[in-house]
A and B are shown apart, each in its own frame.
Chain A
Amino acid sequence: MKYLSGLLLFTLSTLAFQLTAKQNYALVIVANTQNEDISITRRDVRNLFMGGVIKHELHAVILPPENETRVVFNTKVVGLTESRIQSYWAQMRFSGRKKEPREMVNEEQLIEYLKMNEGSIAYLSAQSTIPSELTVLLTIE
């Protein structure tokens, strides 16, 4: 019984620590754009990364499912679990409506892609070093 209570306490404290860590994990939305006056909202970002249109012509690039920044993005911006997002994209792809954003292996490759492709947009950890060629459009605390 004592062992079980200890295990429960450990699990809960680990979970609480992870949740706090996720809540404190800030994100930046960066884009390769000539127009530095673009104003973009969290809702615009959600729509764009779920394949919807917004006022600005930007194409989303994403990180792989296991990436921590992606998990935080799903939680704070999309508001859906990874599995629901995967099933949504299966519905979009196999109904011929939309295709999921291009996926990069890691943040380094993602930054390289952003630098090379005008009009691309992605989320990164606020801790990342953002190259001068890219514009930070939004910070999500």
Chain B
Amino acid sequence: MKILLLKYINTFSFLTLLLFSHSALCNPVNEKLEFSGFARVVLGYLDESDATYLGYDDNLSLSQQSLIAIQADYQILDNLSLTGQVIGHSGKERDSGVEWLYLTYNPNRFSQIKVGRQRTPFFNYSDVIDVGFSYPWITLPQQVYSSVFFSTFDGILAGYEWNVNGVVINAEAFWGSFNGDVVASGNEVDANINDLQGAILSLTYDNFNFRTAYHRTDAFIGLDNLDEFRNILDFSGFTQSAESLSADGEIEFFQIGASYENLDYFVRTEITNIKAESLVVPTIDSFFIAAGYNFFPYTSYISYGKTNSSYGDPINEIPLGINDQLNALSFGYDLVFSQLPYDSSESITIGTRWDWKSNIAIKVEATWIQTEQGSTANFAVLNPEFDRKAPLYQLALEWVF
């Protein structure tokens, strides 16, 4: 019922935004107020009947990644502006609504301070994950981009840019928090992300770009199904075992990315590591590498992504062989760890982007995803016989206005 209701709300938001965008574009706005936006219509088909992947199954679907967003920028003073962005997602795993609402203050031409709700700039494309027009793929390499499960934060971000012998150096630092539901491994869980901090350094020299980032947070993630078992362990005096099942703790994100591009080709890569203090939150190592060839107005590309997740060693204090209750408790503890979602996968993507107009692109893409037995990798398994391999075919229209 909840899913049905969410579906209706999402469809309603999508249609409202579509109507609003039409009226916004047709109405003149004054010099201080500027409207822009982006939209994407993504058609996908998973050639596999034993599982679904990112919501796609063996039926053609338009409703997983299609979206529309409207951005309004209001220049309050010469160096102060207000930006708001509303987004309507067709997919039920993403919330529609206000994605952005922040003030930007430019004390001078080198620096920028933003205060309010903003997108979290974890990796290269994290803050434009919904703006398909800004990257070549239809679906960003999921080995890197599915591991971060919250897209916005409330807080402050300061940036400074300078030029040293032709190298443009951009440094950003932010601090904030996020409270709300997140979708992790297909489950919606309540998360409280406090004290989120990050620093990003980007260097651009001609057509070469290098970016590195470090982020950290104290996360409080509600895993209701584990809480009851934790309480039993705690009550029985196995406090360290109980504590080891807590999903709370520090999470650190590391990223290094580099790209080179010219008129003929591009090469991009990104390497990420997510390290969690909690034993039930995985440590994730991921990377992708992509190369593309431009034959304007087309770009063809190939990319390869790989991810591997692991957990810390369990702390099982419960003695075996004393009585049946303790045996069951010990067995239950080991079972929890053996059933933690394990994500180890790789994928190869090939695709072509056609820049039909300066603001409209059409893309076609095929991705072969492969994961190990027992690994989830964004698959929702429908049949236990599923061989953990599936091709995903997608067609997309990307629009910015």
- Do B361 and A83 touch across chains, with their CB atoms under 8 A apart? yes
Instruction: Kindly state the separation between the CA atoms of A59 and B119 in the bound complex, as whole angstroms.
Output: 27
User: Distance (Å) between the CB of A108 and the closest chain B CB?
Assistant: 21
Given A57-B109, A94-B38, A96-B83: A52 in contact with B262 (beta carbons within 8 A): no
Given A79-B263, A94-B71, A97-B159: A86 in contact with B168 (beta carbons within 8 A): no
Answer yes or no: B359 CB below 8 A from chain A CBs: yes
User: Per-position contact with B for A82-119: 1 when CB-CB < 8 Å, else 0?
Assistant: 11101110110111110000000000000000000000
Total CB contacts across the A-B interface at under 8 A: 101
- Do A82 and B358 touch across chains, with their CB atoms under 8 A apart? yes
Given A81-B296, A82-B358, A83-B355: A95 in contact with B163 (beta carbons within 8 A): no
Task: Please choose the segment from A6-14, A26-34, A42-50, A124-132 that sits at the chain B interface, where 4 or more of its residues have CB less than 8 A away.
Answer: A42-50
- Do B134 and A47 touch across chains, with their CB atoms under 8 A apart? no
The residue on A at minimum CB distance from B361 is: A83
Instruction: Kindly state the separation between the CA atoms of A65 and B297 in the bound complex, as whole angstroms.
Output: 13
Answer yes or no: A53 CB below 8 A from chain B CBs: yes
- Do B134 and A90 touch across chains, with their CB atoms under 8 A apart? yes
- Do B263 and A90 touch across chains, with their CB atoms under 8 A apart? no
Q: Which residues of A contact B296 (CB under 8 A)?
A: 81-83
Given A53-B161, A65-B358, A95-B128: A81 in contact with B294 (beta carbons within 8 A): yes
Answer yes or no: A5 CB below 8 A from chain B CBs: no
- Do B262 and A79 touch across chains, with their CB atoms under 8 A apart? yes
The residue on B at minimum CB distance from A86 is: B358
Answer yes or no: A80 CB below 8 A from chain B CBs: yes
Q: Which residues of B contact A91 (CB under 8 A)?
A: 125, 128, 131, 134-135
Answer yes or no: A2 CB below 8 A from chain B CBs: no
User: Distance (Å) between the CB of B144 and the closest chain A CB?
Assistant: 16
Max chain B Cβ within 10 angstroms of own Cβ: one of A41, A53, A65, A93 = A53
Instruction: Kindly state the separation between the CA atoms of A94 and B35 in the bound complex, as whole angstroms.
Output: 12
Q: Which residues of B contact A47 (CB under 8 A)?
A: 163, 166, 168, 204
User: Per-position contact with A for B207-248: 1 when CB-CB < 8 Å, else 0?
Assistant: 100000000000000000000000000000000000000000
A43 touches which one: B112, B134, B206, B294 (CB < 8 A)? B206
Interface size counted on chain A using CB atoms at 8 A = 30
Instruction: Kindly state the separation between the CA atoms of A13 and B131 in the bound complex, as whole angstroms.
Output: 39
- Do A94 and B159 touch across chains, with their CB atoms under 8 A apart? no
Q: Which residues of A contact B14 (CB under 8 A)?
A: none
Interface residue ranges of B140-179 to A (CB < 8 Å): 159, 161-163, 166, 168
Answer yes or no: B133 CB below 8 A from chain A CBs: yes
User: Distance (Å) between the CB of A23 and the closest chain B CB?
Assistant: 13
- Do B206 and A46 touch across chains, with their CB atoms under 8 A apart? yes
- Do A96 and B102 touch across chains, with their CB atoms under 8 A apart? yes
- Do A90 and B168 touch across chains, with their CB atoms under 8 A apart? no
The residue on B at minimum CB distance from A43 is: B166
- Do A90 and B163 touch across chains, with their CB atoms under 8 A apart? no
- Do B206 and A53 touch across chains, with their CB atoms under 8 A apart? no
- Do A96 and B163 touch across chains, with their CB atoms under 8 A apart? no
The residue on A at minimum CB distance from B296 is: A81
Answer yes or no: A54 CB below 8 A from chain B CBs: yes
The residue on B at minimum CB distance from A94 is: B131
User: Per-position contact with A for B283-320: 1 when CB-CB < 8 Å, else 0?
Assistant: 00000000000101101000000000000000000000
Answer yes or no: A75 CB below 8 A from chain B CBs: yes
User: Per-position contact with A for B351-366: 1 when CB-CB < 8 Å, else 0?
Assistant: 0010100110100000
Interface residue ranges of A68-86 to B (CB < 8 Å): 75, 79-84, 86
The residue on A at minimum CB distance from B126 is: A95
Q: Which residues of B contact A88 (CB under 8 A)?
A: 134
Answer yes or no: B100 CB below 8 A from chain A CBs: yes
B134 touches which one: A50, A53, A79, A87 (CB < 8 A)? A87
Q: A79-B263, A82-B296, A91-B128 given. 10 additional CB < 8 A pairs?
A: A47-B166, A52-B204, A53-B109, A81-B263, A82-B355, A83-B299, A84-B261, A87-B135, A94-B38, A96-B102
Per CB-CB distance, the 10 closest pairs between chain A and chain B, nearest first, are A83-B355, A91-B134, A52-B168, A65-B358, A90-B134, A95-B127, A43-B166, A94-B131, A90-B133, A81-B296
**Can you name 21 A-B pairs with beta carbons within 8 Å?**
A47-B168, A52-B161, A65-B358, A79-B207, A80-B263, A82-B355, A83-B294, A83-B296, A83-B299, A86-B359, A87-B134, A88-B134, A90-B131, A91-B128, A94-B38, A94-B127, A94-B128, A94-B131, A95-B127, A96-B83, A97-B159
